[in-house]
Structure formats: C-alpha cells, structure tokens
C-alpha cells in the first residue's frame, strides 16, 4: 500500500448485520410432495403426500424398520458433549470369588436350605449305650429256625390259559372293530341309496286328457302314412331298390303305430321322462 495521509486515520469497517434465521413453515419430519421415500415395504405403493399436507399424512400401510435405508436421523447417534470420558469413571472390574468371600460373604449363602436325607452324625457329647450283653447263641438259634422253617412256595411259572377269565370268548377289540366296520358299511349304503334316489327317474301316470291327445295324434299319423302306402298299392312290380325300401319302411311304421295305439288304450299308462 502506498503511503498517504488518508491512511493515518483508519476507517471503521461496518459490521454485517445478521438477518433472522429462516424457518420453514412446513415441518421437516414429513415427506415432500409426491415423495416415494415413505412407501417402501407397503401394500399401497406409489407416491405419498400428493396434496402437500403437513398433518394427517397417508403413507399407506407403512412398515418401516428402525434405522433402515439412510441410517439414524442426523445428530442422534452422537454422544452428549457434557458426558465426555473421565478418569476413574468407567465400570468397576468384576469382583473375584475371594473378594466376595472376604467382603460380602452373605451373597454366597443359599436362599433356601435343602432338607437333609440322612440323619446327622452324632456329636462327641452323645455317648452310645454300652455293656449290653445277651446269652443268646445266634448260631444255634439260626440253625434251629432254618430247620423248622416251612419250604418257600414258588410261584407257578407255567400259566394255565384254560383257567383264564376270557378263555374261549371273543376279544372285546374284535367286537369294536366289527362295529366300526359295520358303521362304515352302513354309511356307504346310505350314500349309495341317496345317490340312487337322486338319479332315479321320476315316473308319473299319464292323465286321461294327455292320453286321448296322444291317441288322436298317433291315429292321424297312421292315416297319413296309410294314405301314402295306398298310393303305391297298385304297383305289382317293385323294380327299384327305392320302391322296395319305401314300402318296407311304410309297413314297419304302420305296424309300430298300431302297437303304440294299443299301448295307449290301456288303463294305466306310466311315463318315464328319462327315456
């Protein structure tokens, strides 16, 4: 910088005024408009917060795992500044068994004592009964007792099956099995009968009006076929196959119509719809 009289008095540098901190009117915990970050692992895929709302957001059936995707939120996993590591503030070492015996022996005592199964050993103050003398000769007494003892009865090893209570009788389990088999057969027969009833044709007697109508129709058919048959009655020579077949068919049809009319004239006529 060049020397100048104007540089003797330094000018004050104006301080930059810091403006107010910008705070958004929308909370930072909601998803942006048309965001796809909040619809992962959901049964309602697509986008979220299309309306740009800040409350009552519909994220579908959201199932978000903790710390999934982009990790924990910022500044949440850092330790507190005031809780820094200090000397002699860590965890104390685990006490050894010897230290516990010396300092805290009550911790080694069991909560409940187990009952003793055997009697205790007599103390030195408990003196046994002494100077007990008997004149019994145990050798002679045992010999006499064994000589006079009745022989021991051994159980019968061979079992007599003829004397058993259920000898010659049918075992109970066989009767139970037969009963179950008979119940199954009965169930199968019922199913077969029901199926046969469903498939059985429903027969009904033919009414008088229907019978008369059928007879009149058969007679009309017979008259029609007979008229055609009489037209060829003057033919004395059937020289073609067509004439022979036509005559045979007409005769056969007339015979069948006459049989049907005779059947319809009976008193009881039953109709089977399945035929």
253 found inside a domain? yes
Q: Which of 200, 215, 241 is the last residue of a domain?
A: 200
Residues 265 and 244 in one domain: yes
pLDDT recorded at residue 148: 93
- Among residues 200, 218, 244, the one where a domain terminates is 200
pLDDT at 59: 56
Picking from 154, 184, 200, the residue at the C-terminal end of a domain is 200
Q: Which residues of the chain have pLDDT under 70?
A: 1-2, 31, 37-47, 49-74, 200-201, 273-275
In terms of domains, do 258 and 209 share one? yes
Q: Contact at 8 Å (CB) between 79 and 72?
A: no
pLDDT of 183 reads 95
Contact 33, 52 (CB under 8 A): yes
User: Helices 241-264 and 208-231 meet at what angle, rounded to 10?
Assistant: 160
The pairing of beta strand 204-205 with beta strand 270-271: antiparallel
The answer to whether residues 207 and 268 touch, using CB atoms and an 8 Å cutoff, is no
Whether 245 is covered by a domain: the verdict is: yes
Q: In 3D, which of 237, 216, 229 has the Cα closest to residue 255?
A: 229
Residue 24 lies in a domain: no
Q: What is the pLDDT of residue 62?
A: 52
User: Is residue 209 located within the same domain as residue 229?
Assistant: yes
Domain count, the chain: 2
Asked if residue 54 belongs to a domain, the reply is no
Residue 162 within a domain = no
Position 63 in a domain: no
The domain containing residue 213 runs over which residues?
204-270
pTM strictly above 0.85: no
7: in domain: no
What does the alpha-carbon distance between residue 10 and residue 57 come to, in Å, rounded to a whole number? 60
Whether 208 and 226 map to the same domain: the answer is yes
Residues 230 and 265 in one domain: yes
């Amino acid at each position: 910088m060049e020397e100048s009289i104007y540089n003797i008095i330094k000018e004050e540098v104006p301080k930059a005024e810091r403006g107010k901190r910008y705070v958004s009117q929308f909370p930072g915990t909601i998803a942006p408009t048309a965001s796809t970050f909040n619809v992962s692992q959901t049964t309602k895929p697509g986008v979220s917060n299309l309306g740009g709302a800040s409350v009552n957001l519909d994220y579908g059936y959201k199932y978000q795992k903790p710390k999934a995707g982009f990790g924990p939120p910022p500044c949440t996993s850092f330790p507190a500044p005031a809780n820094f590591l200090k000397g002699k503030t860590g965890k104390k070492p685990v006490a050894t068994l010897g230290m516990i015996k010396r300092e805290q022996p009550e911790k080694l005592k069991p909560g409940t004592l187990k009952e003793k199964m055997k009697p205790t050993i007599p103390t030195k103050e408990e003196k046994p009964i002494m100077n007990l003398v008997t004149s019994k000769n145990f050798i002679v007494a045992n010999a006499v007792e064994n000589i006079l003892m009745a022989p021991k009865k051994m159980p019968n090893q061979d079992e007599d099956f003829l004397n058993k209570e259920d000898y010659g009788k049918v075992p109970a389990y066989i009767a139970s099995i037969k009963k179950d088999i008979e119940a199954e057969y009965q169930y199968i027969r019922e199913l077969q009968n029901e199926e046969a009833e469903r498939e059985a044709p429903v027969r009904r007697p033919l009414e008088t009006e229907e019978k008369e109508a059928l007879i009149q129709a058969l007679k009309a058919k017979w008259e029609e076929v007979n008229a055609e048959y009489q037209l060829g009655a003057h033919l004395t020579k059937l020289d073609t196959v067509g004439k022979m077949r036509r005559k045979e068919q007409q005769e056969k049809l007339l015979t069948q119509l006459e049989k049907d009319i005779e059947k319809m004239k009976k008193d009881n006529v039953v109709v089977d719809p399945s035929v």
